[in-house]
Structure 1
């Protein structure tokens, strides 16, 4: 039986890039996909494209850093559907790289990165948790990055060790990984599976300045869709990419 068909999924930052392809992937499985977007002028055309492909999609105004948008989105989902089966915390920003260098860091830039990548994910999760608890098999996926792996960052044989130091983006993803573990611990007795997904480097607007990136947003979305549709005996509190577990 296709247990995904008829499920309700909310994806933040879903109007483009990997978030959009996550919505496509879940929609093709028969889920209703709610596409969170800061700007409905961008979210609504994205949802319309999916509807044109036969996917049940709706745009939802959702700025994860807003003081009221997460609660407002949760109230709308409650009124329309009464529950939520899948939450994908995908919204994220990289921030200006030069403003994140140790020794010359701009604290406002760091705060903005953490506000979206960490506190935004927590805000949306907290707002939607009552709805997720009504689902017979709720799943939460936090879209993180391999750059959040402290093991890889400190492995002299890994190319990550040669990357420029940053105080914003990479540490924010490490923090999101730990947030994932804490939610997984808390929700394990309720059989709500919570995992972190590393899409890997993909050729999107997010990585347009990085050389040699050939993987697509479709490639990056696969691990997220997989974790969002885990069976009941699936893992929780883990950090995964397409190849398997990523070291913390």
Structure 2
């Protein structure tokens, strides 16, 4: 188990959770519906659904919205969503992995390609980016869930590989196949996780300066605003000084 690290959360830039609530709820609902349809509507028997519901609760999504998303999976008119991954490059050569859930592949591909080309990025071929990332399990808890020693000890006992942290949360990293087992062992100690999902963790990061960071964050914001896009991963690192300048 690696020691304490200040590795920044590469899922999104600081403050990205302030995105429009309606758009966020739409994405969360879609993930819940897909998870329930692919498995069972019982979260106790469906790890992916349980993680999706926990993520929705962490964003204060109303219980009625969550239940409607679960019930929608058993409806005859449920959209046939498919999972798609796009790979490409942003400003300063930053590698980006864009994960989407869509019922219209052509629409999503067009939207992603347009967002990239208009905001300093370009799409790459399949496999052009993922070779620089590791596919791992990621479990998140808010920073105030417990002190560092308790979180690290709990993660170690549960079989996690690494723990990183920032001002907002703890990130507990696992092997991909151990994600839900580790999450299950952590819950009695730390409570329900804020999120538990498969993630792309970069093997190396690129330091991005102020100008490129501003363009990069605009690109990520445009991608995030698309209802089909679930998560944008990247190998960028931005200093606290630059973040302060950008506000």
Structure number with the higher strand fraction is 2
Report the TM-score when normalising by structure 2. Answer: 0.26
Higher relative contact order (CA 8 A, sep 6+): 2
Report the TM-score when normalising by structure 1. Answer: 0.26
